[in-house]
Amino acid sequence: MAVDSSNLPNSDASAEPAAAKAAWLDSPPHAARLKEIFLRVADLPASDRALALDEACGGDASLRRDVDRLLELDAHAAASPGVTPDAATLESLWNEPADDLDVGPLPEQIGRYAIIELLGMGTGGLVYKGRQREPNRDVAVKLLRVDGPIARRRFERESELMGGLHHPGIAHVYERGIDPQTRLPYIAMELVPGSLPVTTYADRQGLRLAERVGLMLQACEAVQHAHAAGVLHRDLKPANLLVGDDGRLKIVDFGVARLLDAGGGALRSTTMGRSLVGTLDYASPEQLRGDAVVSGDVYSLGAVLYELICGRPPVDLDSVPLIDALARIRSSVPVSPRRLNRDCGTDLAAVVLKAVAADAARRYPTAAQFAEDLERTLDGRAVSARHDGPWRTLTRAARQRPFAAGVLAAAATAVLAWTGWSWRTHALQMQAASDMTVAAVKALAFVEARPGSGPIRRAIVDTYLPVTEQMVATRPSDQASRYLLARLLETQAGLLLDAQDEAAAVPLRRRALSILSTLCDDVPESVEYAHQKSLAIIRVGDLLAGPDPSAMAEHYRRAMDIQQSLVDAGQTDAALLDDLGWSYGRMARLCHEQGRVDEGLEWTRRQLEMSLRVRAIDPAAPRSYWLEAYGHARATSFLGREDQREERVKHMLQGIVLMERLLEMVPDHRVFIIHYSVLALAYARDRLVPDGRHDEAVSLANKVRGSLDRLLQLEPDSADTQSVHQNFMIAWRDLMASVDRAKASRADHEAD
């Protein structure tokens, strides 16, 4: 992009004081706006930045020029050894108060929520207090601040990530929608009554040290849930850890959150570029380098706990120039909390210092392990952050058992302590293994249906499968490890099928089914095992298609019977109901292939009814819309007679409307795009062209072509994508030819 280099500061980053570099950013509202736009576009690829800047800056040439200058400085810093990205750019921006921004008048209504007041400014949007009538409750409503395709995509990503997290320590999303007045997307979510930042709450309540640690245990549990679901927060700070009147902590604002990827044995963010996100006092050193890992969130939690204990963040940045501050964060060893707070014990100080270690390799790798050590400090047990010697182990045991006395008793206690330490080490290893299995299963569930997730799934399989095989071999009775192994085998089979290697996938799917069947025998009351077994039966059945469909049909029927029995027993999980709806759809497909029209229509009707049940439970998720859209598409296959044409077209149109809604929610979903293209082209061919609505037919076809072109860019190496795109091009040419013929025929008729 063209930049007026005459206005740039000296390219020698060390030759000019940091304050001088930022002197041209001296208008607080302008600076805050610059910060907002810069952080929004800095981690985008260069190909997307121009459009994002056009959206954000509008016609403000001065604002656009200043953002370009920030990006140029960022690029220079990223290319210079020893200079942290953004170091020269955020001197006057980082802590700019949101109150200086002109947010306009208070809206009366957003969606179906009456607006009461402005609560603040979250990442990417304005947050209001709103009132919902049914049910009667106060909610927090976050509205996108700057419109545009990229801004919307980022906002929708936040709502999607938050909507997929269901934990009492994370603000619950009630609804995602489009405000009819502004046409901007919004998120309606749980409002925390009387909410205060965790540090403010602790100080106002005069909480004791143990109570402050208890608040951070709540935060660790919620963060671990997010990580297990594949979400990295990246901006954990007191303002995003809110405590309500009931003393419960809630995590809010996932505006810079990212999906997690697995690579090199560590979960890494899919962030593009090297821009700095988060808040300086709580950002880990690797986050300042533009990297984002799970232990970075752990650092942020540790930094907040340090402030709760000591009254300030771990690295003192007060009145320190930004470049010096960044260097200090990377290299400083925080003062021991014991020196700043006499009530802080040795163990707790060691735990906090391990959480905020500058070297990520010395930090707790997960929030769960951080929480485990915090719990141990409260219970007076040994912590992994501080390996006890024999004498300390003995004295700790003596404190816990004050009536033990005598040399013989002390010696016996010492022996037991050493034995106990060995047992604790083994127990910690077993707990870590158990945590890994739970996290891996949730990560698989989160990514397996997501578009473009092939590399992530491959990385998860490569990372976890060898370890899990070994765990099952050494602990064959461990149910969690066997369950994870079954899920990993199924994921590996799916990857092989993506590569057109069906022969290698068959034994993996059969082995996964065998493991799940054994688990169901061992734990017959487990709904999750039974549900997953039904899906494994379906996947094996999918590979049995051939001249004799009876084996495939038998597998589908067995799976449906399991799912139906769970639902009949009172299970109302949306995923289970959704899978049962798809089982109805498979039965309808088999009926269609065998010419059983009436029976097939009945199964389709049940599928459509089930989609409404799913939506009633989970109205914001795409799954119910997809189940219903596919049901309408299937109905069209049964309605081929001429006297059924109107009903057929009605189903087509309903399916198209639902598919377009789905693509608004998940724009780049391969399966949605493929089925949308098939249904839309059929509607154009069977309804629009015969009705003489040629321009509408061409417009719809071009819209489909745009979606498929985007899919081709997203997954250029996918055989399915290539095949569908080629088939579409043939159908598109046929449609254009039929339009031309219809127009020519009409012209001839008018000439006659």
Active site residues: 235
Are 32 and 96 spatial neighbours (Cβ–Cβ below 8 Å)? Answer: yes
Distance between CA atoms of 430 and 415, rounded to whole angstroms?
Answer: 23
In whole angstroms, what is the distance from residue 270 CA to residue 68 CA?
Answer: 24
Output phi, psi for 178, to 5 deg.
Answer: -115, 125
**Residue 514 in tokens:** 């065998």
Beta-carbon count within 10 A of 549 CB:
15
Please, what is the Cα angle at 552 between 548 and 554, to 5 degrees? 110
Residue type, 251: I
CB 297 within 8 A of CB 234: yes
Distance (Å, whole) CA 440 – CA 228? 7
Closest of 310, 303, 248 to residue 278, by C-alpha: 303
Residue type, 668: D
Give the 3-state secondary structure of residue 294: helix
Place of tokens 């579409």: 728
C-beta atoms surrounding 359 within 10 Å: 9
Angle at the Cα of 63 from the Cα atoms of 62 and 67, rounded to 5 degrees: 120
Instruction: Provide the Cα torsion 400, 403, 407, 408; round to 10°.
Output: -90
Structural contact between residues 313 and 303, judged by C-beta atoms closer than 8 angstroms? yes
* Spatial distance between the Cα atoms of 451 and 456, rounded to a whole number of angstroms: 11
What is the DSSP track for 425-466?
HHHHHHHHHHHHHHHHHHHHHHHTTSTT-HHHHHHHHHHHHH
- Nearest-CA neighbor of 38 among 22, 17, 52, 48? 52
Residue holding tokens 């030819």? 737
Pair 703, 669: CB distance under 8 Å: no
> What type of residue sits at position 621?
A
CB 722 within 8 A of CB 684: no
Give the CA dihedral 551, 556, 559, 561, nearest 10 degrees: -100
Token pair, residue 613, equals 């049940």
How far apart are the C-alpha atoms of 646 and 653, rounded to whole Å? 11
CB of 494 within 8 A of CB of 448? yes
Distance CA 708, CA 670 (A): 9
**How far is residue 687 CA from its own chain's centroid?**
40
Contact 37, 101 (CB under 8 A): no
Q: Give 565's contacts (C-beta < 8 A, 6+ positions apart).
A: none
Label the pairing between strands 241-243 and 231-232: unpaired
Would strands 196-197 and 241-243 be described as parallel, antiparallel, or unpaired? antiparallel
Whole-number Å distance between alpha carbons of 16 and 88 = 10
How many C-beta atoms surround the C-beta of residue 671 within 10 A? 14
Q: Around Cβ 594, how many Cβ atoms within 10 Å? A: 12
Strands (E), 193-347: 196-197, 231-232, 241-243, 249-251, 258-263, 266-269
